[in-house]
Amino acid sequence: MKDELFADLLASAEEMVRIEKGEQTPAPEHVHTFSPIDVKAIREATGLKQQEFAIAVGVSYDLVKSWETRRRQPTGASRKLLILLQTNPFIINQLKAI
């Protein structure tokens, strides 16, 4: 590994440790936050049970339970799909047909 690349990597790791210890605040452009999604309300609006909803959305039943109890928050494509379902719960019918 080139010295410059290693030095940059080491500096990043040291910055991470300082942030973790509360000694430094990350730059605002490096902080990503997501507003919570009420997955249970979205699922209930579709009229499906957790197992049915999981199959339609393409995730596991356990993941749906984790979302609904807020142990986990949806991210990526799942989050975008849930936002679409929040806007129009009837999209679920198209998903069930796939």
Which helix (H) or strand (E) is 65 found in, with range? helix 61-68
* Residue type for position 63: L
On whether both 18 and 57 belong to a single domain, the answer is no
Rounded Cα–Cα distance for residues 24 and 16 (Å): 9
Structure tokens at 53: 């909803």
What is the reported pTM? 0.68
Rounded Cα–Cα distance for residues 95 and 84 (Å): 12
On whether both 92 and 48 belong to a single domain, the answer is yes
On whether both 55 and 70 belong to a single domain, the answer is yes
Mean pLDDT by 10 residues, the chain (98 residues): 87 93 91 89 96 96 97 94 95 88
Q: Identify the domain containing residue 22 by its residue range.
A: 1-32
Rounded Cα–Cα distance for residues 68 and 31 (Å): 25
Tell me how many domains the chain contains: 2
Question: Please, are residues 53 and 43 in contact by the beta-carbon 8 Å criterion?
Answer: yes
Phi, psi torsion values for 87, nearest 5 degrees: -75, -40
pLDDT confidence of residue 97: 84
Question: Please, are residues 85 and 92 in contact by the beta-carbon 8 Å criterion?
Answer: yes
CATH of the domain at 62: 1.10.260
